[in-house]
C-alpha cells in the first residue's frame, strides 16, 4: 500500500510533513483544504493495520457533498476490501483492516464512544466547539490519535483559539507551572493566493465582487471581527493578556442571573486606574445557589473583600421557598451587594463597558485575563440584530458581557448623573 503518489503545492507539503499531533489549517477558499483532507485520510488509513479514521464536517450531508465522491475516486482499487464501500453509511474498508468513515457534527452524540486513530475536522468554523473539546478530542486519548482541524476564519471563534495554540512554537513556557513544555499543536494561515492552482485574475475578480471584510475573511484567511458588534472597541491584541488575581485588592463581581448560563465576572481595580477581569464562572444549567457556592469555593479566603453587582431583577425574582436571588446570595455569606433600584437601560450598560474598553482620547482601562474565554467570546461575538440597536440573543453570547455591564454601569456609569443604588 505504498505505491500512492499525490500532487501537493508548497503549503500543503508543509502541513503534511509536520510531526505535530494536532495540526490547524486556516486557509482561504479554494486553497486546497479538501485535497489535504483526502490525502491525510488515505495515508492515515494505510499507515498501519486496523486504523479507524474519520472525516467530520458540520453536517452529514456536507460530508457527502464535500468529500465522498472525490474520496472514492482517489482510493487505489487494490486497497479496498471486497464489498468494502458502504454508500449509505459513507464508509470504506481497506484490505489492511482500516476503515475510513465520513461523519456529521450536527449529531455529536453519535460520535461518542469510539477510539479514533486519526480525524479530520473540516469547516471547523461552523462546528460547535464542544464537538471537538467534549466529543472528538477524547476519542483520541486511548489511541494517541492525531487530528487535522481545517477551516476558513469566521470571527474569533474556537478555530482561532486552536490556531493560536499552534503559534506558540515547538516548545513554550507553561503559564501555571513555569515549565518548558513540548507543543502538540502547529498551525498555518494561508491566503487563497498562496495556491499555485488558482489564477490570480480570478482572485482579483473576487476582490472586485466582494466587500473588503468578506474578501479578507474568505480569500485572505483573515480573522475578522463580526459586523454589528455591540462591544466594537474590543481588540484581543489590546485588551487580552496575563492579568492575575491580587489577594490584596477588593474583588468586584458582575453577575447575570440567566439560568443557562449563570454568569459571573470577577474584576479588580488597579492602583493605576486599570480594571482587570481576572476570572469568570459561566455555569450552564445552573442556579443562583450553585453560582454562589462556586464563587465561595474559589474565594473563600477573601469573602470580606467581595462586592457583587447583580442584575437588579434578582431582588424581585422568587424561588422555591419564596426567597429572592439576592436572599440566596446573602445566605451564602455575601453581604456586600450593590445594585440600582431600576434595571439599567441596555444602552447604558453597553456604553459603560465600551468606554472602559476605549475612550475617545485613546485611554484603555479594561483588561481581560486570557483565561476568561467566555467573556472574550462575548465581547467579540455579541452583535445587534440587523438594522436595529437590539442585541441578537439567538446567538446566546451576551450573558458574560451582561454580567460585566452591571458592574460597569454601577461603578463607572456612562451618564454623568450620580448613581443612586442600594447596598446591603
Domain locations in the chain as residue ranges: 10-194, 236-423
- As a whole number, mean pLDDT of residues 132-141 equals 95
- 223 pLDDT more than 50: yes
- 364 pLDDT more than 50: yes
Which has the minimum average pLDDT: 34-48, 269-283, 305-319? 305-319
Report CA torsion sign: 31, 32, 37, 39. Answer: negative
Which has the minimum average pLDDT: 103-107, 132-136, 227-231, 354-358? 227-231
- As a whole number, mean pLDDT of residues 112-132 equals 93
Mean pLDDT score across all residues of the chain: 89
pLDDT, tens only, 404-422:
999 999 999 875 443 344 4
**CA neighbours closer than 13 Å in the CB half-sphere of residue 418:** 1
The fold for domain 10-194 equals Rossmann fold (3.40.50)
Q: In this predicted model, which residue has the larger pLDDT, 274 or 285?
A: 274
- 388 pLDDT more than 70: no
pLDDT at 259: 74
pLDDT at 226: 62
What are the φ and ψ backbone dihedral angles of 168, each rounded to 5 degrees? -80, -10
Tell me the pLDDT band of 254, cut-offs 50, 70 and 90. Answer: very high
pLDDT, tens only, 70-114:
999 999 999 999 999 999 999 999 999 999 999 999 989 889 988
Tell me the pLDDT band of 424, cut-offs 50, 70 and 90. Answer: very low
Q: What is the domain class of 236-423 according to CATH?
A: alpha beta
Q: In this predicted model, which residue has the larger pLDDT, 370 or 7?
A: 370
pLDDT at 348: 86
How many angstroms from the chain centroid is the CA of residue 12?
25
Q: Which three cell numbers stand for residue 217?
A: 475573511
Q: What percent of the chain has pLDDT over 90?
A: 63
pLDDT at 420: 43
pLDDT at 212: 72
pLDDT at 200: 84
Q: In this predicted model, which residue has the larger pLDDT, 5 or 351?
A: 351
CA 97 – CA 84 distance, rounded (Å): 10
Q: In this predicted model, which residue has the larger pLDDT, 135 or 232?
A: 135
- As a whole number, mean pLDDT of residues 219-242 equals 85
Which has the minimum average pLDDT: 96-105, 172-181, 300-309, 410-419? 410-419
pLDDT, tens only, 51-61:
999 999 999 99
Q: What percent of the chain has pLDDT over 70?
A: 91
Report CA torsion sign: 348, 350, 353, 355. Answer: negative
- 227 pLDDT more than 80: no
pLDDT at 419: 39
- 140 pLDDT more than 90: yes
Amino acid at each position: 500500500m505504498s505505491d500512492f503518489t499525490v500532487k501537493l503545492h508548497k503549503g500543503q507539503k508543509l502541513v503534511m510533513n509536520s510531526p505535530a499531533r494536532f495540526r490547524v489549517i486556516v486557509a482561504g477558499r479554494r486553497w486546497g483544504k479538501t485535497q489535504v483532507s483526502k490525502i491525510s485520510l488515505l495515508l492515515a488509513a494505510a499507515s498501519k493495520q486496523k486504523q479507524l479514521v474519520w472525516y467530520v464536517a458540520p453536517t452529514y450531508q456536507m460530508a457527502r457533498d464535500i468529500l465522498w465522491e472525490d474520496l472514492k475516486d482517489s482510493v487505489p482499487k487494490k486497497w479496498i476490501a471486497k464489498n468494502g464501500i458502504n454508500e449509505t453509511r459513507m464508509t470504506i474498508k481497506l484490505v489492511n483492516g482500516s476503515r475510513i468513515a465520513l461523519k456529521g457534527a450536527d449529531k455529536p452524540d453519535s460520535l461518542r464512544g469510539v477510539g479514533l486513530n486519526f480525524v479530520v475536522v473540516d469547516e471547523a468554523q461552523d462546528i460547535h466547539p464542544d464537538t471537538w473539546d467534549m466529543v472528538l478530542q477524547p476519542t483520541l486519548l486511548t489511541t494517541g490519535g492525531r487530528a487535522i482541524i481545517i477551516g476558513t476564519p469566521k470571527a474569533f471563534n474556537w478555530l482561532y483559539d486552536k490556531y493560536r495554540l499552534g503559534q506558540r512554537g515547538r516548545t513554550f513556557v507553561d503559564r501555571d507551572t513555569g515549565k518548558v513544555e513540548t507543543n502538540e499543536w502547529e498551525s498555518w494561515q494561508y491566503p487563497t493566493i498562496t495556491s499555485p492552482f488558482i489564477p490570480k485574475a480570478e482572485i482579483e475578480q473576487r476582490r472586485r465582487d466582494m466587500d473588503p471584510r468578506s474578501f479578507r475573511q474568505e480569500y485572505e484567511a483573515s480573522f475578522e471581527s463580526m459586523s454589528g458588534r455591540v462591544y466594537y472597541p474590543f481588540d484581543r491584541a489590546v485588551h487580552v493578556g496575563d492579568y492575575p488575581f491580587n489577594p490584596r485588592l477588593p474583588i468586584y463581581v458582575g453577575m447575570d442571573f440567566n439560568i443557562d448560563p449563570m454568569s459571573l465576572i470577577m474584576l479588580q481595580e488597579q492602583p493605576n486606574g486599570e480594571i482587570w477581569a481576572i476570572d469568570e464562572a459561566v455555569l450552564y444549567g445552573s442556579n443562583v445557589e450553585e453560582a454562589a457556592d462556586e464563587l465561595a469555593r474559589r474565594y473563600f479566603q477573601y469573602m470580606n473583600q467581595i462586592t457583587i453587582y447583580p442584575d437588579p431583577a434578582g431582588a424581585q425574582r422568587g424561588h422555591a421557598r419564596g426567597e429572592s436571588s439576592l436572599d440566596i446570595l446573602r445566605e451564602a455569606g455575601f453581604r456586600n451587594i450593590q445594585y440600582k433600584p431600576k434595571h439599567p437601560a441596555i444602552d447604558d450598560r453597553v456604553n459603560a463597558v465600551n468606554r472602559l474598553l476605549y475612550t475617545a482620547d485613546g485611554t484603555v482601562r479594561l483588561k481581560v485575563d486570557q483565561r476568561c474565554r467566555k467573556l472574550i467570546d462575548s465581547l467579540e461575538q455579541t452583535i445587534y440584530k440587523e438594522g436595529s440597536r437590539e442585541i441578537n440573543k439567538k446567538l446566546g453570547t451576551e450573558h458574560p458581557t451582561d454580567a460585566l455591564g452591571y458592574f460597569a454601569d454601577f461603578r463607572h456609569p456612562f451618564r454623568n448623573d450620580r448613581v443612586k443604588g442600594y447596598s446591603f
